[in-house]
Structures are given as C-alpha cells and as structure tokens.
Amino acid sequence: MSNSQASQWQKIITVEDIPVLGARVIQVPAGKIAIFRNTEDEVFAVLDECPHKGGPLSQGIVHGKSVTCPLHSWNIDLTTGCAAAPDEGCSKSFAVKVESGVVWLNRKEIQTSHG
C-alpha cells in the first residue's frame, strides 16, 4: 500500500473485537458509527441511527447482511444502509476495508459530519 493510500484509511478495530452477529460503536466527527460483523466475518459500517426514528442499529439483531432495528423492527441493509421495502430511508454507510484481521475506514468519510 502506498503512502497516499495508507493515509486515506484509518485503523479502527480488529475483526476479533467485534462480536459475531453484533456491533461496536465508535464516535467520530461524522457521528456514531456502528461496525457490524456477521457469521461470515464480513464487516460493515453504518451510521448508528435507523433512518426511521434514529434507533440505535448497533443494538439490533444482525442476520446475513442486514440488521433489524431494536425500536420498530425495520430491516436495514448493511451494505447500503437502506431500509428494506416497504420501509423507505437510508442511514449513511461507510467504506470498509479489512486487512489481516484489522478493520479500516475511509478517513475522509469519517471526518465529515453528516446532515
């Protein structure tokens, strides 16, 4: 990885530090980001707010590549941050890179506040 590429990414957490079918939350200038891990050790990063009523997605139930919001059971696609039909709305999703068991997020994305 070149220096310019390295500076684009920020080391966040190790995959092992994220519970399987669970999440860890980090606070960055962009807001609270929930870092999810599924049973295939795939890692996703989504703003920790359901697009419906702002429920904490990090406390939801992970299944496949989705999470069910704990407040009103909306299903959110972890790859896009968008609600499954018939519900509508999206939470911001973040680019994730996993190398050697370490989770990296795009530095530019996490430094920019949303809204």
Kindly report, residue by residue over 7-35, the tens digit of the pLDDT: 899 999 999 999 999 999 999 999 999 99
For residue 66, is pLDDT > 80?
yes
Domains along the chain?
A: 3-107 (2.102.10.10)
The residue type of 71 is L
- Name the pTM for this structure: 0.91
Residue 62 in tokens: 């992970």
Using an 8 Å Cβ cutoff, are 16 and 115 in contact? no
Distance CA 31, CA 45 (A): 12
